[in-house]
Chains A and B, each alone.
Chain A
Amino acid sequence: MSTAHQENLARDVPPWLFVSALVTTLPHVTHLPLWLSVLSGTFFLWATWLWRQDRRQPKRWLLLLLVVGCCVGILSEFRSPFGRDPGVAMLVIFMAMKLLEMRSRRDAIVLLMLGYFLLLTHYFYSQSIFTGAWLLVALWLVTATLIRLHATAMSAKENMHYAGQLLLQSLPFMLVLYLLFPRISGPLWGMPQDAYSGKTGLSDSMSPGSIANLVQSGEIAFRVRFAGPVPQRHQLYWRGPVLESFDGTTWRQSMGRRRAETIQHTGDVTAYETTLEAHNQRWLLALDAPVSLPADAALDGRLSALAQKMVNTRQNFRISSALNYQLNTDESPGVLSHNLKLPPGNNPKTRAMAEEWRATLGNPQAIVNQALRWFSDPAFVYTLQPPLLGPNSIDDFLFQSKRGFCEHYATAFVVLMRSAGIPARVIGGYQGGEMNPRDGFLVVRQSEAHAWAEVWLEKRGWIRVDPTSVVAPDRITNGIVEALPSGEPLPIFMQMHGGWLRDMRHRWEAINNTWNQQVLGYDAKRQLELLSRLGLPEADWRNLVIALGIACGALLILIMLWALHNAKPEAPEIRLWRRALRKTGVDCAPWETPMALVERLQAKQPALIPQMEPVVRHFLLARYAPDNTEHLAALRAAVASLPRRRPD
């Protein structure tokens, strides 16, 4: 065996290795540091150039130097050798460098095994359909290369064909493993700790521009399927963080526990199922006001539904909400006074106007109406490109620029209310959503991020007031694209809002959604459901392992039965011949004739000749002569008289 591994590589093998190395590493380019990608690419080109020119590969000391250099570079880039990113970077650079060290078959095998492992690492970054398809093709190519390494006489097409056959044969096992492999969450089984960075979404604070940035993203925040009729668009307020503390520029959540909400609801309850993308926060973005929540979630006293842990993987849950409700008519005085606080001294004009309203109107409801009337002035423009504001940002906005986005209107409104002595707060979340007619899911994107206000009125509790709906009614009824003034540049994905492009997008998103729901959404819970349907209720991981063993065993038995059924019964002389080879420990290639074998032994192991010669003679006679019964007996005797091989 060892000699076969040290064999030099055939000249036509390296191109296969190059392609394998390329397909297994290429998608990592999207998140590797640029210098690493460039360096790996250079090594790759260097290796292909050496091959094309038929030149010697670099000396060992040079490679060692490069390895040390790369390791130092990676350590200084990531500051740690552990975790997903440095690990993957290391593997990618090693893969590229191994191409420079392709001397023997052993090197090629190392490279291919590294390739198989690298394939897995792509799932740390993406589990989309595209990644899945890419990795299947890559798996196919790497397997074909592995075959190429051992079967030099095959053509490229045959190689691919053979590899495809192998993969197809492994399909049943893949399905069984997918369905039955224990889905334990734990450090060994789960994703690396740093796998969740870079997920975007609402943040737990809001300063001017933060939502406007989010709106540029067409990424999907969550999908909702309603059990009953879909509520009207202007009712779709998905609540995220409740922002109660204001320091003059930034709104933040207030700390501290609140007592449970008192919600009185009238009318129907809307039930729906949300598939929430990872956003590294806890809120579940329920419709106001949620009346039933999943078991591992709770309201936080401000009507935001929170999960127990950060949502850092895609999650699926059911919620029911009452769209007509009264919230906390008995709100505690402490909370109310907290929602009246403003940083002292700033925005004097706003305060003066609010105080004037309070003096003249007196009635809180009238003050709210007055403020909304103020915003209905056509001078107020809804735009994604507001001008920069000074330190008294609310004054600047209300009296000078009058151009802003939902966060400007919501915050200005809340400051006005607090100045007029009405408890008020800013709510972050999403508003609206786009119905995908292909699969009936309501898709809510980051671009639907929104901010609105809530005021507390005597006997009526917290009431939602959305000043944006006064400035740009279209934002609420038709979505952001309709609300923006014409001529304002739109993010690319928003430009695809008409015709067949939108239809294509709907289709694609519906396919993705199915993938998420059906394939990626198969988690421990669904696995348990499936097992209990199969008659294995309360399956713990031990039962799973047993079920897995049984299923794989059954598959193997089926395959073996099938093979036995199709196999021709082996002739007795062949069986005896095999036994003779086993007993003497002689290797005989499938194409090697017994006579050629004897010739080879004569040169290499002449001691075996006296034993093998009668075996070969009788085997040939038994197999190829006209009448073989007596030769068969002679062969049996010759094989029986062979001494057992001494263990070496």
Chain B
Amino acid sequence: MPVLNAANQIILGKETEVRLAATCLLAGGHLLIEDLPGLGKTTLAHTLARLLGLHFSRIQFTADLLPADITGVSIFDRERSDFRFIQGPVFSQLVLADEINRATPKTQSALLEAMEEGQVSIEGETRALPSPFFVIATQNPSHQIGTFPLPESQLDRFLMRIELGYPGRDAERALLTSGGRRTRAEQLDSLLTPEQLPQLQREVADLYAAPPLIDYVQALVEASRHTSVFRHGLSPRAGLALLAAARAWAWLAGRDMVLPDDVQAVFPSVARHRLSSAQGGNQASSTDIDSLLKRVAIP
């Protein structure tokens, strides 16, 4: 897959994460990247936008960012004696919401509403967002100072959440010798035309999932509900997300059917931010997710 290869040239040593991010976009979902500052979150978002040939805008979330800064405002045009709507940065095909948890909940929800509905309502008028419409949000771990953690209901709107983590030894060495990657990302040529992506997405959505595989997805979702490890189980929306992501993962692997391996590969990224541990108030640990996978027999 040329897009993946090109992206791996920019984001070094993170093949799995890059593939997961691409999976998310192919499945038509929004992506949340959570990690410490400086690990390449923004670069990844940038790279994907460039490679997929999407119209891209970036919003740096800050504590004083207002909803109108995202959606846009109407200003009075004196020449035409009328209000003219100035579109905000949200009217792009790919929106990078950088450090989304630095903004207040009110501003966050303006973006999240747009993500869910595919449209924004401003001053009583509903305006459709471009299609395709993706949000890649990055977020610092919520124990960092000056953050407003996203509530569970809004986390659910992201199809996947991934973590980048520190680069490997070799990758870091290459990075240090050849310099940062941000400028290189901006110079990338797009590998897809704007018409190709929706078509790929349709192909992915039509990928065959056999009844035993759907049984497996169902069993996983049910198992998450019948354990006391998590406070709540996975929602039906999470089940849909799991299947969609598994399809995209299978498509990226070049298969025309979904295998349990695909489900297992995307499961942690799809499920973990939707589950909270019953003991602490925190998100479920990756061992909890792992043991959930190991409890469910493949039908």
Question: Which residues does A use to contact B, with CB under 8 Å?
Answer: 152-158, 571, 589-593, 595-596, 620-621, 623-626
**Given A571-B212, A591-B297, A591-B298, is A625 in contact with B257 using a C-beta cutoff of 8 Å?**
yes
Smallest beta-carbon distance A171→chain B, Å: 24
| SS of B interface (majority) | mixed
| Residues in A whose Cβ lies below 8 Å from that of B208 | 624-626
| Residues in B whose Cβ lies below 8 Å from that of A155 | 227-229
From the candidates B213, B257, B297, name the one contacting A590 in the complex (CB within 8 A): B297
Q: Residue B188 at the A interface, CB < 8 A?
A: no
Smallest beta-carbon distance B29→chain A, Å: 23
User: Total interface residues on B, using CB and 8 Å?
Assistant: 22
| SS of A interface (majority) | loop
| A122 and B237 alpha carbons, distance in the complex (Å) | 54
Smallest beta-carbon distance B259→chain A, Å: 6
| Residues in A whose Cβ lies below 8 Å from that of B256 | 625-626
With both beta carbons as reference points, the residue of chain B lying nearest to A152 in the complex is identified as B291
| Residues in A whose Cβ lies below 8 Å from that of B258 | 624
| Residues in A whose Cβ lies below 8 Å from that of B227 | 154-155, 158
| Residues in B whose Cβ lies below 8 Å from that of A590 | 297-298
With both beta carbons as reference points, the residue of chain A lying nearest to B287 in the complex is identified as A153
| Residues in A whose Cβ lies below 8 Å from that of B213 | 624
In the bound complex, do residue A624 and residue B261 qualify as a contact, i.e. CB atoms below 8 Å apart? Answer: no
Q: Residue B295 at the A interface, CB < 8 A?
A: yes
| A152 and B287 alpha carbons, distance in the complex (Å) | 12
Question: Which residues does B use to contact A, with CB under 8 Å?
Answer: 208, 210, 212-213, 227-229, 256-261, 264, 291-298
In the bound complex, do residue B212 and residue A591 qualify as a contact, i.e. CB atoms below 8 Å apart? Answer: no
| Residues in B whose Cβ lies below 8 Å from that of A623 | 210, 212
| Residues in B whose Cβ lies below 8 Å from that of A589 | 294
From the candidates A154, A593, A621, A625, name the one contacting B298 in the complex (CB within 8 A): A593
| A19 and B258 alpha carbons, distance in the complex (Å) | 46
| Residues in B whose Cβ lies below 8 Å from that of A626 | 208, 210, 256-257
Smallest beta-carbon distance A575→chain B, Å: 14
| Residues in B whose Cβ lies below 8 Å from that of A157 | 228
From the candidates B210, B259, B296, name the one contacting A591 in the complex (CB within 8 A): B296
| A626 and B208 alpha carbons, distance in the complex (Å) | 7
| Residues in B whose Cβ lies below 8 Å from that of A154 | 227
The 8 closest A-B pairs by CB, nearest first: A590-B297, A153-B291, A155-B228, A624-B210, A593-B260, A593-B261, A626-B208, A595-B261
With both beta carbons as reference points, the residue of chain A lying nearest to B264 in the complex is identified as A593
| A497 and B292 alpha carbons, distance in the complex (Å) | 60
| Residues in B whose Cβ lies below 8 Å from that of A624 | 208, 210, 212-213, 257-260
In the bound complex, do residue B295 and residue A591 qualify as a contact, i.e. CB atoms below 8 Å apart? Answer: yes
| A158 and B260 alpha carbons, distance in the complex (Å) | 26
With both beta carbons as reference points, the residue of chain B lying nearest to A591 in the complex is identified as B294
With both beta carbons as reference points, the residue of chain B lying nearest to A590 in the complex is identified as B297
Most chain B CB within a 10 A radius of its CB, from A153, A155, A621: A153
| A6 and B138 alpha carbons, distance in the complex (Å) | 45
13 additional A-B residue pairs with CB within 8 Å, beyond A621-B257, A624-B213: A154-B227, A155-B227, A158-B228, A592-B298, A593-B260, A593-B261, A593-B298, A623-B212, A624-B210, A624-B260, A626-B208, A626-B256, A626-B257
| Residues in A whose Cβ lies below 8 Å from that of B212 | 571, 623-624
| A158 and B225 alpha carbons, distance in the complex (Å) | 13
